[in-house]
Structure 1
Amino acid sequence: MKNLNILLIEDDMIEVMKLSRAKKSLQLEHNIIEANNGEEALQILEDKSNLPDIILLDLNMPKINGIEFLKILKADDQLRYIPTIVLTTSSNQRDLLECYKIGIAGYVLKPLKYEDYVSKIEKLLSYWSVNELISV
């Protein structure tokens, strides 16, 4: 299994810590780069020599929301191919359809229970670490 470079775009520090804790408890070696909002993420993505393997994106953020960020990402010839997984509390059907229309690789609802969250993160990251779309 490949160690992934993951760009986490999340404005809630508790969620950032939760992912970090899940990674530690699962003993995963993935590298997580954190961005607090879409603008910060776009600055990180300007370095085309060091692009992430996958992006985990929250939808509800200040400045640029997740959907606006996706539109900017998909308009870029190089960035559009980075698999982007929405990790959100929003079960809004309109959000879901809009995200798939723009072109996401997955839409995962954050469960309330921590154990369920860890289980979902484990499945999500193990899938992407064996996926052939991610070049070794």
Structure 2
Amino acid sequence: MEILLVEDNPGDVRLTQEAFKEAKIQNQLYVVEDGVAAMEFLHQQGQYADVPRPHLILLDLNLPKKDGREVLREIKQNSALKRIPVVVLTTSGDKKDILISYDLHANCYITKPVELDQFIQIAKSIDNFWLTTVSLPGE
């Protein structure tokens, strides 16, 4: 199963990749750095014409070019994309961001930890639930 990570912070990308490696998650992790690239990836446009559609999206909210909230809104309003689970994975623990994300039909909201050990636990939780336990629509 393919996972799309939408994250503009290179440190958070490395942290996510390292946490997935430590958690022994073997799934393909694609990374795009902004909301415009995320939508191009999901619509398989331009340089992303040959990529597979992801089974799961890990989405940061604070992105350049197109905000994560706007990306989430576009995903959930698009009949071809709306069934892809979106895990909001962001530094914001603001109640307003949490409410807006769920109002836009995020499948879950996780506040990113800063420590690798905590991030590994989140990666394991994502693996146990989203990649092992549930049946995803793209399978």
Give TM-score, length-normalised by structure 1.
Answer: 0.91
Stretches of structure 2 lacking an aligned partner (at least 5 in a row): none
1:47-95 deviation per Cα after TM superposition (whole angstroms, max 9, x unaligned) = 2982100000001111111101111111211101100000011011111
Aligned mates of 1:73, 1:118 — CA distance in 2: 27
Does the CA contact (< 8 Å) of 2:92 and 2:111 recur in 1? yes
Deviation at 1:126, TM superposition (A): 1.8
How well do the aligned residues superpose, as a CA RMSD in angstroms?
A: 1.5
Does the CA contact (< 8 Å) of 1:59 and 1:65 recur in 2? yes
2:18 is matched with which residue? 21
**Alignment coverage as a number of residue pairs:** 133
Does the CA contact (< 8 Å) of 2:86 and 2:106 recur in 1? yes
Does the CA contact (< 8 Å) of 1:128 and 1:134 recur in 2? no
2:74 is matched with which residue? 72
1:127 is matched with which residue? 129
1:6 is matched with which residue? 3
1:101 aligns with 2:98: no
1:33 is matched with which residue? 30
Deviation at 1:114, TM superposition (A): 1.4
Give TM-score, length-normalised by structure 2.
Answer: 0.90
Stretches of structure 1 lacking an aligned partner (at least 5 in a row): none
Q: Tell me which moved more, 121-130 or 42-51.
A: 42-51
Deviation at 1:31, TM superposition (A): 0.4
Task: Give the percent of matched residue pairs that are identical in Structure 1 and Structure 2.
Answer: 30
2:43 is matched with which residue? 46
